[in-house]
Structure 1
Amino acid sequence: MTTNSKTDQNEETSSIQFHEMGLDDRILKAIAKLGWSEPSLIQEKSIPLFLDGKDVLIKARTGSGKTGAFGIPVVQKILSIKEISPEDQKIRALMLAPTKELCTQIFKTMLQLTTKCSRDVKIVDISAQVDISAQKPLLVDLPDVIVATPGRVVQHIKAGTLSLKNLKMLVIDEADLMFSCGYEVDVKEVIKHLPKIYQAALASATLSEDVISLKKLVLHNAVTLKLQESELAPLKQLTHYKYYTEPIDKPAVLYTLLKLGLIRGKSIIFVNSVDKCYRLKLFLEQFKISSCILNSELPAGSRCHAVAQFNQGTYDIIIASDESFLDDPSSDSKRNKDKEFGVSRGIDFQFVSNIINYDFPSSINSYIHRAGRTARGSNQGTVLSFVSVLEAPYMSGVDEYLKESLGSSDSIFKLYTFKMDEMEGFRYRAKDAWKACTKALIREIRLKEIKQEVLNSQKLKGYFEENPKDLKTLRHDRKVKIPKTGNHLANVPDYLVPTSLKSVSGLVKIKRPKRKFKAVNTTNQKYEAKRKNPLASMDLSEFDEVMTKRKRKT
């Protein structure tokens, strides 16, 4: 590695643009196509350092452009190598991330950065949990850049399908999650197979003890980029609200805010358990409020599909369970959770307007990572937290930390003014709907979901072809009794909406056209309709007699 004295880059210097960094024209065209008019602060500082061959530790908040900060120089250095020896095809860069979702995000960004030089720079993502032999063809041609989780890299190394002896660059994203996700052993194993000389970069939202430990393992005489910025967007861009409520009233408050349109735009609702994910979804469905679920127990394919649907606008609400094991890696869980998953980290949710903390997070880092899903780039965002008496100490800790971080003397949390006392009709509806979502129902829903995933599994397709009886057994599970919901729950009568909220609620009043009444002979109309109907079997002789008598009178 290039030797360089350890420094902290906190000084303000004159800003430079992408075209002033000595980047290849093909990269500049790709950047323009992405709509990046100018580099973010972290990109402006880190790209020149990485291009100079220095090891870099990047500490910047979520949404600050860290992927571009290391992706752009990696592509540039590979193109420079190809100009000298175009026929020498080798694996030049390895990008590690703790989650499959983040690997997918990095892979997509790298594809976008190489859209004008895709023939010269080949990139593959091997993070998917498929059979090793299925990914072997991807590695035979020695792609320039490999994106993967540490565990997946170790599997390929042991299988003999991957060699890192010619590696030039190593990038580790979300470095503060690597060890807490259980990758400490895997990372150390990967380092054993690296050449003696290589350039490395670590990117992280925080400088935790794990990051410092990883820095000692990977970096040598690194430049530490610790920018003078908060871990969250400034208060003028991201607004934090608090609403004090008891746990029993949280469903009613959420239903009221959503149904009256007081919360608008794409929203992520965070809860603290997987069961509550399903219960909240069933609860909202009774009021015809659509949402999708994201948690660690779903297969990777289902999770990626849910995120894609949310980003595409199929759903405006996603209910996500935060992972407590990220705060306490030593804690054991009875359920089989995917260690390569973290909802509040590593997933690129696009254009999120609101974060709703249905359950207030138990740690400062968790709050920061949740809130970091909104107000990304130059977009505005809000965070609304439901705070019970037991959760108030957690909020106070977050408030004190962020006041210092954001340089505010006042509390960062604004009180959300919403009088639940005026919503007794909504509370009454929500109480019955919440009770209908029982534990037994949730268990049946989750069991049905697991069975459906088994049926959709490509790995089990061959097994079911040989054992059709097992497939038949799976398909003959009993139906789940979803709580019956009438259309009346989806509609909000005008009398339920308080007068003070009628002007600001998002309810759309449907104007029905006025009926125009005409004086008609109902007897004639009735019989004439039946005469014209070819399927009518009624005897019309009585009608003919009546009409004959009328003609005689006239």
Structure 2
Amino acid sequence: MDDERLQFHEMGLDDRLLKAVADLGWSRPTLIQEKAIPLALEGKDLLARARTGSGKTAAYAIPVIQRILTSKQSVREQDVRALILVPTKELGQQVQTMIRQLTMFCSRDVRVANISSKADLSAQRPILMEKPDVVVGTPSRVLAHLSTQNLVLHSSLEMLVVDEADLIFSFGFEADLKNVSCHLPKIYQSFLMSATLTEDVQALKELLLHNPVILKLQGSQLPNSSQLHQYGIKCEEEDKFLLIYTLLKLRLIQGKTLVFVGEVERCYRLKLFLEQFGIPACVLNSELPIHSRCHIITQFNQGFYDYIIATDEQCLADPATTAQTTAAAAAAGKQKKKKKVSEKGGRGKDKEYGVSRGVDFQNVSNVINFDFPPTVNSYIHRVGRTARADNPGSALSFISHTELEKLSEVEEALAGDKADSVLKPYKFKMEEIEGFRYRCRDAMRSVTKQAVKEARLKEIKQELLNSEKLKTYFEDNPRDLQLLRHDKDLHPAVIKPHLKNIPEYLVPASLRGAMHPLSAKRRRWREKPKAEGVVKGSFKNIQGKNPLRSFRYIGGRNRKGEADKS
């Protein structure tokens, strides 16, 4: 069956594009690529639904690049020919990276610019004045540049792509997108790519597409049970912490793991809790700038961390970042004001931030829903971070009694006509880890509200010190920099060393095989039979002398050799 599928070299693509595809190791197109690329090359408008990780980005990027290369054979004038709209900055950077990889052998002919970041419009203007062939950005940033005429599209645009179309409305970009459409030419080719076909996507279809071909390639929005294993375990608040500590510390869950929680504050609470046991994890915080978030994702992808804790918040109010808001207060040494700004829940979170969608987490083996997702779509997009392409993956959800209704909604949506439950029970005997509970409670006592608060402040303070935008300010105001550097030390949480190691007697007999893979080797080394003959002692032979034999004990005699009468 696979042999009958259309191959990349049969699609009439430019040799430089085919070479880049081969360098990326793509031996054959995915289903969405096989169906969408030929239709796009014919000039059709497309509305494509395919699940996360199915290769949607390349499915539109390849025809976009091919059309630009074809156009440049007859038209030499440099201009913006393609606009790609994305809901999040993280996805913007991912799309730019993908296009650069596909144009590695034709980078002079196809240039791409990403304007998703919150840089000043004036700083991005020179990039747009060079008229890159492809512009990637969020609707709000694109509209801002169109309004200032840094970007002009009404005469040159040939292709419009809306990636993750179902998130565009939920991120509040409806008005921006309609305003952007007013700056576009009357005729252009459009692609809408989405994991779900919601009513909002249907509205976008009416707005942007002309007689589109609709591709619905997967009946299920998640991989089948042979590729993705989904489990659920019912446990309350304290048991959630106990369970995740045990699963990670005993290595019952192995490989790169994404842990989703409900809000940013719980991210830090869980991070500090795990650190008590020597389990390093990082937090993907919507309050930090895009560059910092992408740096964390890169570190995770490169293996610096095995565990990343995140939220999938979408209803984020103020697009101004906390680090920028906090800068003036921190630089002036106004600690109280700084803390108040940082502590306000929704303030300072990035409107264009999204973790469960639009972030290229690589080789994720497991997704843990520490807090059960609020909606069915949220569950699909969280779990869709694993079992991507042909790789296997597992998803484990912790479910409290208050989250049972949400579980029922997910089960009903995913099961369809099937009688079986989608989330299989995670067969784990909680009574076997009861001995760990006192350690869990001991760790929780250290993770106070103040500790969480100071952990967040510490991260923001570091962000201020590393900020490129604030370098000029600190050069003009060196005293403010000194005040920030010599601010009082922050102590996120007291680490108790005794919690790092687990005594073997605490580990249930049924789990000892999974505990500390090196311990068996160490035990075997200790149990080796002693070699016959002379066994070397632990003391080193210093200058040929044995310290035990050369040491002279003169009993209770004094210097004159007389016995000590006392």
Q: CA separation of 1:524/1:191 partners in 2, compared to 1, >3 Å: closer, same or farther?
A: closer
What corresponds to 1:339 in structure 2?
351
Q: Which residue of structure 1 lines up, in the alignment, with residue 267 of structure 2? A: 277
* 1:469 and 2:479 are equivalent in the alignment: yes
- Report the secondary structure of 1:202's partner residue: strand
- Counterpart of 1:154 in structure 2 is 143
CA shift for structure 1 position 231: 0.7
- The 8 Å contact of residues 316 and 346 in structure 2, kept in 1 or not, is answered as no
Report if the CA contact (8 A) 1:352-1:374 is conserved. Answer: yes
Could you tell me how far apart the structure 2 residues matched to 1:386 and 1:169 are?
A: 44
The corresponding residue for 2:277 is 287
Deviation at 1:409, TM superposition (A): 3.1
- Match of residue 251 from structure 2: 261
Report if aligned partners of 2:316, 2:351 keep a CA contact under 8 Å in 1: no
TM-fit CA distance, 1:322: 2.0
SS of residue matched to 2:225: coil
* Aligned counterpart for 1:356 among listed residues 343, 365, 368: 368
| Structure-1 separation of matches of 2:193 and 2:367 | 24
Deviation at 1:113, TM superposition (A): 0.9
**Distance in 1 between residues matched to 2:237 and 2:517, nearest whole Å:** 26
1:488 aligns with 2:478: no
Check conservation: 1:354, 1:381, Cα contact below 8 A. yes
TM-score, normalised via structure 2 length: 0.87
Q: Cα 1:173–1:383, aligned 2, differ >3 Å: closer, same or farther?
A: same
Correspondence 1:433 to 2:443: yes
Offset of residue 235 of structure 1: 1.0
Q: Percent identity?
A: 55
Aligned residue runs from structure 1 range 512-531, under 5 A = 513=526, 525=547
The whole-number CA distance in structure 2 between the counterparts of 1:257 and 1:541 is 56
In structure 2, C-alpha distance between the alignment counterparts of 1:141 and 1:355, rounded to whole Å: 42
What corresponds to 2:334 in structure 1? none
Map 1:93-242 to 2 at 5 A.
Answer: 93-164=82-153, 165-242=155-232
- RMSD between aligned alpha carbons? 2.8
Cα displacement string for residues 356-403 of structure 1 (whole angstroms, at most 9, x for unaligned residues): 000011110000000000000000000001111111221121112111
Q: Work out the CA distance in 2 between the residues paired with 1:326 and 1:27.
A: 39
Structure 1 pair 221/436, CA: closer, same or farther in 2 (3 Å)?
same
2:396 pairs with one of 384, 391, 394: 384
Post-superposition shift, 1:19?
A: 1.4
Q: CA deviation at 1:297?
A: 1.3
Aligned match of 2:420: 410
What is the deviation of 1:507? 4.1
3-state SS, counterpart of residue 72 of structure 2? helix
Instruction: Check 1:464–1:382 CA distance in 2 against 1; reply closer, same or farther (3 A cut).
Output: same
Flag the 1:288–1:541 CA change in 2: closer, same or farther, 3 A. Answer: closer
Question: How big is the shift at 1:111?
Answer: 0.8
Q: Distance in 2 between matches of 1:349 and 1:227?
A: 23
Report SS of the residue matched to 2:367: strand
- Structure 1 stretches of 5 or more lacking a match? 1-11, 530-539, 550-554
Q: TM-score, normalised by structure 1?
A: 0.88
Q: From the superposition, tell whether residues 489 and 220 of structure 1 become closer, same or farther in structure 2 (CA, over 3 Å).
A: same
Matched AA of 1:488: H
Checking the alignment, whether the CA contact within 8 Å between 1:242 and 1:386 is kept in structure 2 is: yes
Single out whichever of 212-221 and 100-109 deviates more from structure 2: 212-221
Distance of 2:88 and 2:53 partners within structure 1: 17
Say if 1:326 and 1:360 are closer, same or farther in 2 by CA, change over 3 A. farther
Instruction: Give 3-state SS (helix, strand or coil) of 2:463's partner.
Output: helix
- The whole-number CA distance in structure 2 between the counterparts of 1:494 and 1:464 is 53
Deviations 1:194-248 (A, max 9, x none): 1111111111111112111111111111111122431111111000011111112
2:102 aligned partner, one-letter code: L
Amino acid at match of 2:135: I
CA distance in 2, matches of 1:88, 1:301: 33
Amino acid at match of 2:452: I
Say which SS state the counterpart of residue 260 (structure 2) adopts.
strand
Amino acid at match of 1:69: A
Please identify, of 381-390 and 21-30, the stretch whose mean Cα deviation from structure 2 is larger.
21-30
Task: Name which of 442, 453, 458 aligns with 1:448.
Answer: 458
Q: Give the Cα–Cα distance (whole angstroms) in 2 for the partners of residues 333 and 220 of structure 1.
A: 43
